[in-house]
A and B are shown apart, each in its own frame.
Chain A
Amino acid sequence: MADKKLDAKGLNCPLPILKAKKMLNAMEQNETLEVVATDPGAIKDFEAFCRTTGNTLLESQSEGGNYTFLIQRTG
């Protein structure tokens, strides 16, 4: 179960990343954030975002047009 959740459904690039970043900023180290998006570009973008910022992408799932990411704040 994630510590925080972000519903980014219906939002397009770059809003899911910007909103996720805002939430991560307000979280403690090692807390987890679950993001649900519908933008197919979010898959590669969250991978790149996590690699660059040092946060950990624990899970990336795709189901029925929804993309779910579990990010741990480690950056």
Chain B
Amino acid sequence: MSTEQNAKSMSIIVTKGALDQAYPPFILATTAAAMGLDVTMFFTFYGLSLLKKDLKLKVSTLGNTAMEMPMMGGHIAMPNVLAALPGASSLTTVMMKDLIKKNGVASIEELRELAVEAEVKIIACQMTLDLFDYKREDLIEGPELGGAATYIEVATKSDINLFI
């Protein structure tokens, strides 16, 4: 967290837990922290799974209607209907992880560690924890548990509020 008195602040509501959808919140949070902002991330619904100790993130073509993957010098479309095939999400996950590695993009584990290190404040949604029957010990060390009111209090004081 920034020590500057007039530091700007940002909050992000993280609602998605797929590999590709995990990137924007962690990239923005770590970068904002590096730029001196006080950052809070509120993990709720499928986003909460990004706080589990063991991440097994996947990419699905389902719902990602514009998805295409670079292949053999061109791009190949990954239509929604692919998701119905057995093993499709394993395939897209392998492809995505390969692209991530090839392009020097950080892993989600690495970005999460950098966020914790940069003292990004992490709030895990208590209701989601109960709803999906997670235990506190399934999650990494550090997050505080809170609900909507905890987040709203942060949001009222933040310069930037994002929902991802």
Number of A-B contacts (CB under 8 A): 36
Q: How far is the CB of B39 from chain A (nearest CB, A)?
A: 13
Q: Which residue of A lies closest to B114 (CB)?
A: A18
Given contacts A10-B104, A12-B103, contact A18 B30 (CB under 8 A): yes
Report, as a range, how many residues of chain B touch the other chain. Answer: 10 to 19
| Chain A 26-49 interface residues, beta-carbon cutoff 8 Å to B | 39, 48-49
Q: Which residue of B lies closest to A11 (CB)?
A: B104
**A interface list, Cβ under 8 A from B:** 10-15, 17-18, 21, 39, 48-49, 52-53, 75
Interface CB pairs A-B, < 8 A, 14: A12-B103, A13-B105, A14-B31, A15-B106, A17-B31, A17-B34, A18-B30, A21-B34, A21-B35, A39-B104, A48-B35, A52-B35, A53-B36, A75-B36
